[in-house]
Amino acid sequence: MGMSAALEGVAGRQAVQKADEQALVRQAQTGNRPAFEELVSRYDRDVLRLAYSLVRHNEDARDIYQEVFLRAYRNLTRFRFECSFYTWIYRIATNVCLDHLRRKNTRREDQAPQPEESDGTTRDFFDQQMEHRPAANPERHLLGQELGRHIATALGGLSPRERMVFELKHYEGLKLRVIGDMLGTSEETVKNSLFRATRKLRASLNGMR
């Protein structure tokens, strides 16, 4: 009884959230800027995290973020409520990320790694000067980081689509059906991409033994 009441409560909240979101989208479609900005603030963290984990570069992640939400702003009137706004935004985000990864694969100069702190922040010019103070030079090369580097290299060896599918499945925790919906392709194609990605990763990591 308690459980069913709780489930009803969750379902009720979800319904309210959905209705609330639809109302926001409709307002945004009439040109209401605050409504659009409210929608942005609901999803922009997720979009930025996805972009950053794929490109691992502040400036590129910023460009992707900008492109995603500008596309959404320009095309908002074309949103027909056939899927959730979340799926629609993620669909745009995955497309922009894929375009970016494909372009990047063809431009070698872009592949120079950006010096970054372990917390993900970019180091500026002054930060890059040599420092030997104990407080400013923490143990950055922990043993586990070697494995992390191998995995990052292995992930870098995947095709943009395989990388995207693997990321959405194993880091974002999405179902393959949803991923297919976002990428505008069938679940079967997504399964194949995931299969290829996993096989490549295994081979790549075995090669590093």
Partner 1 sequence: MRDEFKSFSGETGCPEYETQIMLYAAEELEGAERDGFEEHLDQCAKCMAALDAERQLLEVISSQERPEPAPALLASCRNRLEDAIDEIDHRSLFTRWAESIFPAHWLVMYPAASAALLVFIGFSAGAFLPGRAQQRTPPNSPMQQAGVLSPMLNEQELRTADVSGINWTPAEDNRPPQIEVQLTTEKPMTVQGTVNDTNVKKVLTYVLHNNHRFGPDVRINAVELLKGQAGDAQVEQALCQAARSDQNPAVRLMALDALGQSSPNAAAIQTMINALVQDTNPGVRIAAMTSLGNISSRGGLLSDPEAVKVLRGLMKNDRNKYIRLQSAAAVLQSAAPPQQ
By CB under 8 A, which span of 6-14, 19-27, 45-53, 106-114 interacts with partner 1? 45-53
CB atoms under 10 Å from CB of 42, counted, come to 15
Question: Contact between 136 and partner 1 (CB under 8 A)?
Answer: yes
CB nearer partner 1, residue 73 or residue 79: 73
- Closest by Cα among 47, 44, 96, 88 to 67: 96
Q: Using the CB atoms, write b or e for 26-39: b if 16+ within 10 Å.
A: ebbeeeeeebbeeb
Question: Contact between 198 and partner 1 (CB under 8 A)?
Answer: yes
Binding mask 78-117 for partner 1 (x = CB under 8 A): ----------------------------------------
* Closest approach of partner 1 to the CB of residue 81, in Å: 22
Binder of partner 1 out of 9, 12, 110, 171 (CB under 8 A): 171
CB nearer partner 1, residue 52 or residue 79: 52
Binder of partner 1 out of 21, 27, 29, 40 (CB under 8 A): 40
Question: Contact between 158 and partner 1 (CB under 8 A)?
Answer: no
Rounded distance, CA 43 to CA 24, Å? 13
SS3 state at 133: coil
Own/partner contacts of 81-87, CB < 8 Å, gap of 24 or more, are 81/22, 81/25, 83/181, 84/18, 84/21, 85/21, 85/22, 85/25, 85/39, 85/43, 86/43, 87/178, 87/181, 87/182
Question: Contact between 71 and partner 1 (CB under 8 A)?
Answer: no
Termini Cα distance of the chain: 54
Contact residues toward partner 1 (CB under 8 A) are: 33-34, 36-38, 40-41, 44-45, 48-49, 52-53, 56, 58, 61-62, 65-66, 69-70, 73-74, 119-122, 124, 126-127, 129-133, 135-136, 143-144, 146-148, 151, 169-171, 175-176, 191, 194-195, 198-199, 201-202, 205-206, 208-209
